[in-house]
Structure 1
Amino acid sequence: MPTFDSAPIIETCAAGVDARLFTSLVRQESNFNPFAIGLDGKAVLKAQPRSYEEAVKTAVNLRRQGIGFSVGLSQVHISNVVRLKMTWQEAFDPCTNLRTGSEIFRGFYTQAVQAGYRSDSAVFAALRGFNSGSVHNPVSNGYAKAILGRVGVAPATPSPSVVSASLPAVAAESTRTAPEQDGSSPDMFAAPSTSLFGERHDVLAQAKSASVAVADVAQAGAPQSIETGGAPVVLRASVVP
């Protein structure tokens, strides 16, 4: 794995999200490996790419096979790479990847606030959304607690406020995609109730709001080998408990 000095680039590129929080998220997602590739479902690469060129080649081959996966420092899902019309070269660029990941996270924070979560609970719910695709999905509680624990925040498992208790729960999604947004969404940077966020920078204002669903890898039967142009994979569970 390449040596990576995370602090300066995260402060510069993860716009609008506190560097402590996003550093912890990147550690959880990729362990600071800019070439990391994580597969959907019960799958894992037998060997991670060791270079930028190998990472791009592996991603191209995986997409040709219809496999769902996430890439780079903040593990941007293929559905978002497609939605934002990114090239794989852009997706593996450290700064571009961090900007994209922070924008996706901020979108989930806005969704959490709209659903009635407040303060640290909204951050917790946003982390659940970043991991599972739903701010309500308890399968990602362990993931959120691990990230917040490294920055000294340990909230109880959150729930929406009474004001929003009648809102229907968002169904869990099989892949991690950015939530749809509109101009009426609350801005978590305008009057944040937690210290984990900074000034907003609309780095991806041009991005479309539509999500692109990507199917999980089929999981029937025994572990399955998948040819990826020099990077065979073996199926495994990828959800962080």
Structure 2
Amino acid sequence: MMPVDFNTLAQQCAPAVHPSTLQAIVRTESGFQPYAIGVVGGRLVRQPHSRDEAVATVKALDAAGWNYSVGLSQVNRANLGRYGLTGQDAAAAFDPCANLRAGSAILADCYRRASARMGAGQQALRAAFSCYYSGNFQRGFTADSGARYAQSSYVQRVVANALPAPAGVTNTAVVTDEVQAQMALQVQTEANVHVNEPASAQAIPVVPAVTPESGLRGISGQVARTVRPAPLDEPPALGGKARAHATWDTFGDF
């Protein structure tokens, strides 16, 4: 294994978006956790420790009908096929390079739409953050409730995360030979990883890696409601999550 800076990875895998911008999105969405899974209307009791665990958990979530987002960029299940993340028996979505590529494509499309409406620049970039988050140009500017977010909006959090990291915190990751971007962040701890899910949501177990002996242990629970279509005058839900309004409404629709 060798250490790789996140910005270097971003430049190689997602050159269409400035690394600092993509870094702010990823820090906000997954805390640089490549196996992160965010469940709409639920939460994992812990985040997966390996890609095998993540894949097994996603399969169980699919079987139970849950809506979820995955990986560094938190790409929603509704967008996985569109961005080529459905191959390799569900493992493709957790390939950091492919996930970053998808996230950058989603953000770039949001920025293109925003620029066409309001002109290029910082205003359009912030509107693109809102689009990435919610599928429209407004929701991301609305303050979210809950102590974790301190009444901040998603756009505010992304902008804050674009600032230099605190002393002693780096974005160095470990890349294995198995996949050119198989990451395990060295400086983030599981306690610091939040994938935009409330503590009050239904707890869902992580499924251990599947073996021929163990088989797949399913996840039971209430099925999340179907995602609502975006209004016709707004871009479709192309954000890292295809959002649906949950009762806790932390993100409006995730």
Query: What's the TM-score, normalizing by structure 2?
Result: 0.58
Kindly state the Cα deviation for residue 82 of structure 1 after the two structures are TM-superposed. Answer: 3.1
Kindly state the Cα deviation for residue 135 of structure 1 after the two structures are TM-superposed. Answer: 1.7
Runs of 5+ consecutive residues of structure 1 not aligned to the other structure:
153-221
Paired residues of 2:53 and 2:207 also in contact (CA < 8 A): no
Tell me, in whole angstroms, the C-alpha distance in 1 between the residues paired with 2:21 and 2:100. 13
Corresponding residue number in structure 1 for 2:58: 59
What SS is found at the alignment partner of 2:34? coil
Corresponding residue number in structure 1 for 2:125: 123
Kindly state the Cα deviation for residue 69 of structure 1 after the two structures are TM-superposed. Answer: 0.6
Paired residues of 1:61 and 1:228 also in contact (CA < 8 A): no
Identity %: 32
Deviations 1:188-214 (A, max 9, x none): xxxxxxxxxxxxxxxxxxxxxxxxxxx
Paired residues of 1:4 and 1:32 also in contact (CA < 8 A): no
Does 1:135 pair with 2:137?
yes
Kindly state the Cα deviation for residue 114 of structure 1 after the two structures are TM-superposed. Answer: 2.4
The size of the alignment, in residue pairs, is 170
Structure 2 counterparts to residues 165-184 of structure 1, below 5 A: none
Kindly state the Cα deviation for residue 15 of structure 1 after the two structures are TM-superposed. Answer: 2.2
Does 1:7 pair with 2:7?
yes
Structure 2 counterparts to residues 1-241 of structure 1, below 5 A: 5-40=5-40, 42-87=41-86, 88-137=90-139, 138-139=141-142, 142-151=153-162, 224-226=202-204, 229=207, 237=248, 239-240=250-251
| 75-84 or 99-108, larger mean C-alpha shift | 75-84
| 7-16 or 22-31, larger mean C-alpha shift | 7-16
Indicate how the Cα distance of structure 1 residues 223 and 35 shifts in structure 2: closer, same or farther if over 3 A, else same.
Answer: closer
Query: What's the TM-score, normalizing by structure 1?
Result: 0.61
What SS is found at the alignment partner of 1:86? coil
Q: Kindly report the root-mean-square deviation, in angstroms, between the aligned alpha carbons of the 2 structures.
A: 3.1
Kindly state the Cα deviation for residue 86 of structure 1 after the two structures are TM-superposed. Answer: 2.4
Kindly state the Cα deviation for residue 232 of structure 1 after the two structures are TM-superposed. Answer: 6.5
Runs of 5+ consecutive residues of structure 2 not aligned to the other structure:
144-151, 164-199, 209-217, 222-245
Paired residues of 2:46 and 2:206 also in contact (CA < 8 A): no
